[in-house]
Amino acid sequence: MSTKVCVTGSSGRLGPHVVAELAAHGYDVLAVDVAPAPPAVTDLDVATVRADLTDAAQAVDVLAGCDAVVHLANIPAPGLRPDGVTFTTNVTMNHAVFAAARTHGLRRVVWASSETTLGLPFVDPPWYAPVDEAHFPRAESTYALSKVVTEQVAATYARWTGVAHVGLRFSNVLGRDDYRRLFPAAWADPHARKWNLWSYIDARDAASACRLALEARDEQLGAGASAGAPNLVIAAADTCMTRPSAELLAEVFPGVELRRPVEGTTSLFAVDAARDLLGWEPAHTWRDTLEA
Ligand SMILES: NC(=O)c1ccc[n+]([C@@H]2O[C@H](COP(=O)([O-])OP(=O)(O)OC[C@H]3O[C@@H](n4cnc5c(N)ncnc54)[C@H](O)[C@@H]3O)[C@@H](O)[C@H]2O)c1
């Protein structure tokens, strides 16, 4: 019998990639979103349900019969809605989903945290680079604060249930269509995308991180304070820029400590923890699209 996984936020930017990744790997996927499913989801052989997950009863309803959840639904950035709405909507929804997962005894919770918990936008310089999991908590928006709070909620539910809750601190999720539109324009201006240290994550690699977070054995998921509820940086291996990362950092954020050598255009975010705990590696770069 295949594992039944609920993917929330399945009609958004990242959701269809996660649905496709899980369906391709034999999972029985239930795609849940308040918005209608797009063709990228309806073209797949997966069940879809419309639900508002800020409503605890609807969250309990949709998770019935599932083995695990990949919870992506949220207001996905600052500035889209009034600050208070972003905070209360996300925290309410995330709590409802974690509580529903507990009600039904789901065996794994994977959810979308964010790189914004680590200090984005970098108006002020990062404390050090490469930025890693310990560059936390540094919320600069109510959106980021909603994710910081949710990491604590996840840790508490992991402790109450003994079920691992894996938070993925995604970088800016982009797809092949985004690279040509966004990146060449940034090459001449090192300040244009300094807000996240020129980072990004290809949506296909974000999706593989979700799958591997479902598949990791409990023993893989860390010890110590984060046991059962690790929150992992998920970023591409390179920056969006053509200039060397160390040179960019020195020019835009002079004096920031570089804690290890960063060769060429290597990312200024460290993904060692995701590699160690999940066996995840980013496989895609914008260079494959723009240099093809
Ligand atoms: N896009 C990025 O660059 C990025 C970066 C870091 C983290 N994230 C996080 O990843 C997740 C997915 O991001 P995305 O870019 O795909 O966002 P998105 O807005 O494209 O997709 C989110 C989906 O959630 C759904 N949704 C919102 N409120 C809902 C509710 N009450 N009930 C049910 N569904 C609801 C929306 O309809 C939408 O389809 C989010 O949690 C976001 O915070 C995104």
Residue ID of nearest Cα to ligand 1 atom 10: 112
Query: At 75, is the secondary structure helix, strand, or coil?
Result: coil
* β-bridge partners, 131: 269
Question: Does pLDDT of 221 surpass 90?
Answer: no
pLDDT bucket at 222, cuts 50 / 70 / 90: low
pLDDT bucket at 247, cuts 50 / 70 / 90: very high
Query: At 5, is the secondary structure helix, strand, or coil?
Result: strand
Mean local confidence (pLDDT), 94-102: 98
Report which ligand 1 atom has the smallest distance to the Cα of 172. 3
106-151 tens-digit pLDDT:
999 999 999 999 999 999 999 999 999 999 999 999 999 999 999 9
Mean pLDDT, the chain, rounded, equals 96
Spell out which residues line ligand 1, taking CB within 6 angstroms.
Answer: 9, 11-15, 33-35, 51-54, 72-74, 76, 93, 112, 114-115, 170, 172-173
141-171 tens-digit pLDDT:
999 999 999 999 999 999 999 999 999 999 9
Rounded distance, CA 149 to CA 144, Å?
Answer: 9
Residue ID of nearest Cα to ligand 1 atom 39: 12
Mean local confidence (pLDDT), 189-204: 98
Contact indicator for 31, 49 with CB cutoff of 8 Å: yes
Residue 121 alpha carbon to ligand 1 centre in Å: 19
Rounded distance, CA 117 to CA 138, Å?
Answer: 6
Residue-level pLDDT at 226: 62
The residue range of the domain holding 123 is: 4-290
Rounded distance, CA 65 to CA 174, Å?
Answer: 32
Pocket test for ligand 1, best of 8, 10, 11, 13 (most atoms within 8 A of CB): 13
Mean local confidence (pLDDT), 186-213: 98
Residue-level pLDDT at 19: 98
Show Cβ contacts of residue 61 under 8 Å, excluding neighbours closer than 6 positions.
51
Alpha carbon 37 to its chain's center:
20
Residue-level pLDDT at 291: 81
Pocket test for ligand 1, best of 48, 70, 72, 174 (most atoms within 8 A of CB): 72
Residue-level pLDDT at 223: 53
Query: At 29, is the secondary structure helix, strand, or coil?
Result: strand
Contact indicator for 74, 9 with CB cutoff of 8 Å: yes
Show Cβ contacts of residue 163 under 8 Å, excluding neighbours closer than 6 positions.
101, 102, 106, 107, 108, 109, 157, 228
Q: Burial level of 132, CB count in 10 A (0-12/13-18/19+)?
A: middle
Pocket test for ligand 1, best of 6, 10, 11, 14 (most atoms within 8 A of CB): 14
Pocket test for ligand 1, best of 21, 32, 33, 201 (most atoms within 8 A of CB): 33
Residue 192 alpha carbon to ligand 1 centre in Å: 24
Q: How many independent structural domains does the chain possess?
A: 1
pLDDT bucket at 225, cuts 50 / 70 / 90: low
Query: At 126, is the secondary structure helix, strand, or coil?
Result: coil
Residue ID of nearest Cα to ligand 1 atom 42: 76
Residue 11: give its domain's CATH number: 3.40.50.720
Residue 151 alpha carbon to ligand 1 centre in Å: 16
Residue 8 alpha carbon to ligand 1 centre in Å: 9
